[in-house]
Structure 1
């Protein structure tokens, strides 16, 4: 099998003089990696102290690096090695060392609250055994860890975070109020514009109505004037009407009458409209008859 298929921790196990000690080393390094207010050098020195009797035979750096990466598959594999190769008493001993590393500074970090419980579960150490062991080593009960998802946790542990949350909430409320005010102003402007537009439309309609009324009055006056003129003006006599049919005015000679008749007869003779509709032919016949009647009348009565 190619060596590239193994994970970094599996390679450490393959090269280790004692796989159990290497597994214990990783578990304890994982606890140390979550100690608060501890430098990297202090973590390595503390790990070297507690593992002085281990027979793993390799450097601590690679193990510490895997622990800091929080490789849970490696942690589970280490717990499986310990559980498989060691007795229950040995597993309890590993939990004893883990509790010591997690609390020897007097403060148990939130992460190690969960890590101790997780390790106890992986090593088949009962919760009651874990609580008893913690009480014996620290003199205090193993309380339930605080929930960082609750707002009360951040009020106590990170006042700045809580203050920042409050500032953000206040800024968000101010932004919402500003947006609400802007929307109200826009609604007021839109309402004012709509009213102004309605007033302009009303004025335009009034102006158009007044203009139509004036046009109607002028047309009525013109009709009244024309009607009065038509009633007062004498009707044209037959001679004048006959001359108008031929396009002539009073005072023309009979020669001009004949010439006008021939011209009008040629233009309006029904035979010229034989290709048209019956209505066109009928209209042409009526025009020609008026022209013929006007000519006959003038030739007989016009001197």
Structure 2
């Protein structure tokens, strides 16, 4: 199993020769780290002195580190071990040792006052029993711990408490006023920003509408231009067709022109045109008469356009082969 799954205290327990002694060691260390006016070296020496007969078999450093970290889960685990593995007498012995290391200098710190009550509760020792044991060991009543939340506590331990509290209250009031002023300014800024966004959105909508209308008008003009071009083209084609018929009627008694001349005529070129002229004329005629330009006309118009385009292509192919 990976060691990373164990807490620091569980790792210490795995190395311990006696988990009960290690659990007791942690509870005593927890009390010692809350002794006032005691150096770390003095704490370690006192812990080593009290636990000299223990059989835990490991260093005190890791346990002191866990106690300093205020790891309540480790504290509860230690108390659970003692509650399950020890008799009531052993639990009382642990509480006896805790009271001893907490009151070596005759004073009981406020933190250890609560810690002793907390340990008694974890070890199933009643408050009455705790008070009796404390009196037997120290010769004085344990009494109720002072409440740091009461004014009388600070009047006794810190005469500047109320003046500091007044300064704190004034600072807090000023901070509230500043916060309210800042909140009001931010609200005004948000409202102004909201109005600017609304105006900008309205302006963008108007611009979009104008662009849309302009596009629509441009499309309409383009459609009208396309229609006009188609009508003009149809008229030109009709006129060309009529001229061709007239020319055929007029030339019915004259010898027909040779194929090269006819092909040049289809492309609108005079006899003797160059190969480059043929290519340019074909491109122009192909763009002008391509059937795709008449997709919106009637089927008859599309058929006529296809026939014209095929005639133009045949003339071009012939001329490109003969030139």
TM-score interval w.r.t. the shorter chain?
Answer: 0.5 to 0.7
* Residues 15 and 172 of structure 1, relative CA distance in 2, 3 Å threshold: closer
CA distance in structure 2 between the aligned counterparts of 1:84 and 1:17, rounded to whole angstroms = 17
CA distance in structure 1 between the aligned counterparts of 2:108 and 2:167, rounded to whole angstroms = 31
Q: Which secondary structure state, in structure 1, belongs to the residue aligned with residue 53 of structure 2?
A: coil
Q: Which secondary structure state, in structure 1, belongs to the residue aligned with residue 156 of structure 2?
A: helix
CA distance in structure 1 between the aligned counterparts of 2:157 and 2:6, rounded to whole angstroms = 41
CA distance in structure 1 between the aligned counterparts of 2:9 and 2:83, rounded to whole angstroms = 17
Kindly indicate whether residue 11 of structure 2 is the aligned counterpart of residue 3 of structure 1.
no
CA distance in structure 1 between the aligned counterparts of 2:143 and 2:97, rounded to whole angstroms = 19
Kindly indicate whether residue 33 of structure 2 is the aligned counterpart of residue 63 of structure 1.
no
Point out the structure with max Rg over C-alpha: 1
Give the aligned partner of residue 183 of structure 1: none
What pairs with 1:253-292 in structure 2 (closer than 5 Å)? none
CA distance in structure 1 between the aligned counterparts of 2:105 and 2:81, rounded to whole angstroms = 29
Give the aligned partner of residue 12 of structure 1: 12
* Residues 52 and 160 of structure 1, relative CA distance in 2, 3 Å threshold: farther
What TM-score comes out, normalization by structure 2 length? 0.52
* Residues 42 and 163 of structure 1, relative CA distance in 2, 3 Å threshold: farther
Give the aligned partner of residue 154 of structure 1: 154
Q: Which secondary structure state, in structure 1, belongs to the residue aligned with residue 77 of structure 2?
A: helix
CA distance in structure 1 between the aligned counterparts of 2:88 and 2:167, rounded to whole angstroms = 52
CA distance in structure 1 between the aligned counterparts of 2:171 and 2:25, rounded to whole angstroms = 49
CA distance in structure 1 between the aligned counterparts of 2:13 and 2:25, rounded to whole angstroms = 11
Give the aligned partner of residue 265 of structure 1: none
Give the aligned partner of residue 115 of structure 1: 115
* Residues 162 and 53 of structure 1, relative CA distance in 2, 3 Å threshold: farther
CA distance in structure 1 between the aligned counterparts of 2:116 and 2:108, rounded to whole angstroms = 10
Alpha-carbon distance, 1:139 to partner: 0.7
* Residues 170 and 6 of structure 1, relative CA distance in 2, 3 Å threshold: closer
CA distance in structure 2 between the aligned counterparts of 1:127 and 1:23, rounded to whole angstroms = 22
CA distance in structure 2 between the aligned counterparts of 1:58 and 1:158, rounded to whole angstroms = 43
Alpha-carbon distance, 1:38 to partner: 0.7
Instruction: Summarize deviations over 1:11-70 as a string: whole Å, max 9, x none.
Output: 000100110000000000000010111111111111111011111111111100100111
Alpha-carbon distance, 1:163 to partner: 3.5
Q: Which secondary structure state, in structure 2, belongs to the residue aligned with residue 115 of structure 1?
A: helix
Instruction: Summarize deviations over 1:139-198 as a string: whole Å, max 9, x none.
Output: 11111101111122122223344442234346678x69x99xxxxxxxxxxxxxxxxxxx
What pairs with 1:90-239 in structure 2 (closer than 5 Å)? 90-169=90-169
What TM-score comes out, normalization by structure 1 length? 0.55
Structure 1 gaps of 5+ residues are 180-303
Give the aligned partner of residue 75 of structure 1: 75
Number of equivalent positions? 177
Give the aligned partner of residue 36 of structure 1: 36
The root-mean-square deviation of aligned C-alpha atoms, in Å, is: 2.0
Q: Which secondary structure state, in structure 2, belongs to the residue aligned with residue 75 of structure 1?
A: helix
Structure 2 gaps of 5+ residues are 179-323
Give the aligned partner of residue 50 of structure 1: 50
Instruction: Summarize deviations over 1:86-109 as a string: whole Å, max 9, x none.
Output: 100000000000000111111100
